[in-house]
């Protein structure tokens, strides 16, 4: 008997030893594979450097390989070499040393695209359309945007001399500009309506942006605001802690706002509100669209899950991933996706599954049929896996590709540059409208440019034609195909009229920006904004506001009320009204 027990103990010990060794062996094999592939990569670079027929730019080759490798994971895991660390700093802090302007490449030269209001470039008199010819005597006529940007940036307090050429002028201008610490304000615009609705557009979650939101809300309340519209449309996110602090302005202390879960359990975190709220009862509507991502979705989703705000607009982007910066040798850094985040209801809103790619390398969006139902604090149904779905969705109109190409090919930009030279002032942003005669002038301007644009529908039609010919269907459907081809063929005159409204809005926005900067553009767009108008309607009707924040089942009348309505609606021959039971289950 003792011998049998001894044999069992030996067997159990052996099994435990095997189980303990298995993970160790797998880990060792993984380390071996990593080191083997690093050694192979080093050897390939060395062999190329020594024997390749042409000289090899090693830095470009290796850094390009690193970036190509990271793009196979997801778009957010990124490598920053030492010379690009300013880009990472700007993303997280919103600060840099420079002149405070956006520059772009246009007509073979680098031009000022937009000077920021009140900053160095604006104070020095730079205007959109100014071509940068020289910086401190260095010729910039053939330089790239990156090269010009590097020259313009520098230590705050240092000065640079710019030689520029303004459109419509024959003589070059020389300007001395003092570099500043440029801090982009995350609040694009704020104001209070006559109905005491406070509105603010929040552009990015950078360092201390939650403090800026707090100050903005306080100012709006001091000006008489009794309800709020927080506009997160186009806000691509930023620092997670800032998102938690923004939600904390409107919900009590110690509320769980978001939790993160990744491969390393010791990195998993739960983020609670840390402070007493600024105002936990003021009615709030949050505006979102497909450009609202990451930290924006934490704010919108957190307020939705806690039934603290009504969400209006279009479904958000769906980025439920968290990135952590890690230092690398030689001053570099890698921003790694380390975890997924989960908002108060327990849902993760990540819409794309980067870990399971299609054979062609593309990534599919999570189908609505595969998403899961979660509950808000009040019991409303919300879903995961597809961004934040608004409580009230306002269909977003889609324009033609011609409007996109008119903007990206700088046709609208160049037209407005000429237009501004002939107009020294315009109406206030919310009142400005492009005269009909000016749109006719714009059409002539486009035609003189020999403007061409690519239509996706026309390109797809040609692919369909090739497929129909290959499968032998062209003969039987030739007449229908020819008719469709005629309608989808690019026609400049037709499309300039067909998409006139979209194009006109773009021209108006560009003009308003030249006179009133970004805040003016926002005021102009709000004057004809269906999403904003719906938010105002909801806040002016508190019964509607409160009903949206309640689950559907709460809208079912009590049994006594139903019986009374039935009594008034029907004449019963049997004398007694049938008994109506309180519903146990409802389809919603």
In a domain? residue 81: no
Question: 372 with 239, same domain?
Answer: yes
Q: What is the CATH number of the domain that holds 156?
A: 2.30.42.10
Beta-carbon count within 10 A of 72 CB? 10
pLDDT of 579 reads 34
The mean pLDDT of 353-357, rounded to a whole number, is 82
**DSSP alpha helix (H) spans, 195-251:** 209-222, 240-248
pLDDT of 9 reads 39
For 481, residues 6+ apart whose C-beta sits below 8 A from its C-beta are 464, 465, 468, 474
Backbone phi, psi, residue 29, to 5°: -65, -40
In a domain? residue 155: yes
438 CA to centre of own chain: 33
In a domain? residue 283: yes
**Which of 261, 394, 244 minimizes the C-alpha distance to 315?**
394
pLDDT in tens, 79-130: 998 878 877 777 777 778 899 999 999 989 999 999 999 999 999 999 999 9
Give the residue with greater pLDDT, 480 vs 412: 412
In a domain? residue 453: yes
Question: 283 with 363, same domain?
Answer: yes
Question: 114 with 167, same domain?
Answer: yes
Question: 251 with 328, same domain?
Answer: yes
Question: 529 with 408, same domain?
Answer: yes
End-to-end CA distance of the chain: give it in Å, rounded.
Answer: 66
In a domain? residue 567: no
Question: 491 with 369, same domain?
Answer: no
The mean pLDDT of 256-269, rounded to a whole number, is 92
Which range has the worst mean pLDDT, 25-29, 91-95, 129-133, 233-237? 91-95
Question: Which of 183, 214, 239 corresponds to the end of one domain?
Answer: 183
Question: 136 with 213, same domain?
Answer: no
Question: 313 with 365, same domain?
Answer: yes
Q: What is the CATH number of the domain that holds 281?
A: 3.90.226.10
Question: 386 with 519, same domain?
Answer: no
In a domain? residue 412: yes
Q: What 3-state DSSP class applies to 339?
A: strand
The mean pLDDT of 566-571, rounded to a whole number, is 42
Question: If pLDDT is split at 50, 70 and 90, which confidence band does 564 have?
Answer: low
Q: Taking the model in full, what pTM does it have?
A: 0.82
Question: 454 with 518, same domain?
Answer: yes
Rounded distance between C-alpha atoms, residue 547 and residue 542, angstroms: 8
Question: Exposed (0-12), middle (13-18) or buried (19+): which is 327, by Cβ within 10 Å?
Answer: exposed
pLDDT in tens, 372-397: 999 999 999 999 988 999 999 999 87
Question: 208 with 294, same domain?
Answer: yes
Question: Which of 132, 165, 183 corresponds to the end of one domain?
Answer: 183
Query: Is the confidence at residue 136, as pLDDT, over 80?
Result: yes
Residue 315 sits in which domain range? 187-393
Mind giving me the DSSP string for 83-121?
GGHHHHHHHHH-EEEE--EEEEEETTEEEEEEEPTTSHH
In a domain? residue 57: no
Question: Which of 393, 418, 443 corresponds to the end of one domain?
Answer: 393
The mean pLDDT of 230-243, rounded to a whole number, is 96
Domain count, the chain: 3
Structure tokens at 167: 């459109």
Question: 145 with 275, same domain?
Answer: no
Q: Report the chain's mean pLDDT, rounded to a whole number.
A: 87
In a domain? residue 584: no
260 CA to centre of own chain: 20
């Amino acid at each position: 008997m003792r011998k049998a027990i001894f044999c069992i103990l030996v067997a159990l010990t052996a099994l435990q030893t095997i189980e303990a060794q298995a993970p160790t062996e797998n880990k060792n094999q993984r380390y071996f594979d990593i080191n083997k592939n690093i050694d192979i990569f080093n050897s390939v670079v060395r062999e190329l450097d020594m024997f390749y027929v042409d000289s090899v730019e090693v830095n470009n080759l290796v850094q390009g390989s690193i970036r190509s490798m990271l793009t196979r994971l997801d778009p957010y895991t990124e490598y920053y070499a030492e010379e690009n660390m300013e880009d990472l700093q700007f993303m997280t802090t919103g600060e840099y040393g420079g002149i405070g302007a956006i520059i772009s490449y246009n007509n073979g030269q680098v031009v000022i695209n937009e000077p920021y209001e009140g900053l160095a470039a604006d104070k020095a008199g730079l205007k959109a359309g100014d071509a940068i010819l020289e910086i401190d005597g260095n010729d910039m006529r053939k330089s790239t945007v990156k090269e010009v940007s590097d020259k313009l940036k520098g230590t705050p307090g240092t000065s640079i001399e710019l030689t520029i050429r303004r459109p419509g002028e024959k003589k070059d201008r020389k300007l001395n500009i003092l570099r500043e610490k440029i801090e982009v304000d995350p609040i694009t615009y704020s104001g209070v309506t006559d109905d005491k609705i406070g509105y603010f557009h929040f552009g990015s979650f950078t360092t201390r942006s939650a403090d800026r939101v707090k100050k903005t809300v306080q100012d709006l309340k001091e000006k008489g605001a009794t309800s709020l519209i927080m506009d997160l449309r186009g806000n691509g996110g930023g620092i997670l802690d800032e998102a938690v602090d923004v939600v904390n302005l409107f919900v009590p202390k110690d509320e769980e706002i978001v939790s993160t879960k990744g491969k390393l359990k010791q990195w998993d975190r739960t983020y609670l509100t840390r402070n007493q709220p600024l105002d936990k009862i003021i009615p709030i509507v949050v505006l979102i669209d497909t450009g609202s991502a990451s930290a924006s979705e934490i704010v919108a989703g957190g307020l939705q899950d806690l039934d603290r705000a009504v969400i209006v607009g279009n479904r958000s982007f769906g980025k439920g991933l968290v990135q952590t910066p890690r230092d690398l040798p030689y001053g570099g850094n890698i921003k790694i996706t380390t975890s997924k985040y989960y908002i108060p209801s327990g849902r993760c809103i990540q819409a794309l599954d980067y870990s399971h790619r299609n054979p062609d390398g593309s990534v599919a969006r999570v189908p609505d049929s595969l998403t899961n139902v979660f509950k808000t604090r009040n019991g409303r149904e919300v879903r995961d896996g597809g961004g934040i779905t608004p409580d009230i969705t306002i269909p977003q109109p889609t324009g033609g590709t011609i409007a996109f190409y008119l903007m990206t090919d700088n046709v609208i930009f160049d037209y407005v540059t000429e237009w501004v030279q002939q107009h020294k002032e315009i109406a206030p942003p919310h009142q400005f409208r492009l005269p009909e005669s000016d749109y006719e002038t714009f059409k002539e301007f486009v035609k003189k440019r020999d403007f061409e644009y690519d239509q996706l529908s026309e390109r797809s039609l040609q692919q369909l034609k090739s497929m129909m010919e290959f499968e032998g269907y062209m003969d039987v459907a030739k007449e229908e195909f020819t008719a469709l081809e005629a309608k989808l063929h690019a026609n400049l005159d037709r499309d300039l009229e067909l998409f006139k409204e979209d194009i006109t809005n773009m021209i108006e926005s560009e003009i308003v920006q030249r006179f009133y900067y970004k805040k003016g553009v926002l005021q102009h767009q709000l004057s004809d904004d269906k999403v904003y108008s719906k938010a105002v309607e909801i806040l002016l009707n508190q019964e509607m506001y409160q009903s949206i924040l309640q689950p559907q089942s709460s809208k079912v009348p009590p049994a006594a009320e139903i019986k009374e309505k039935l009594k008034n609606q029907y004449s019963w021959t049997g004398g007694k009204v049938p008994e109506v039971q309180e519903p146990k289950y409802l389809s919603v």
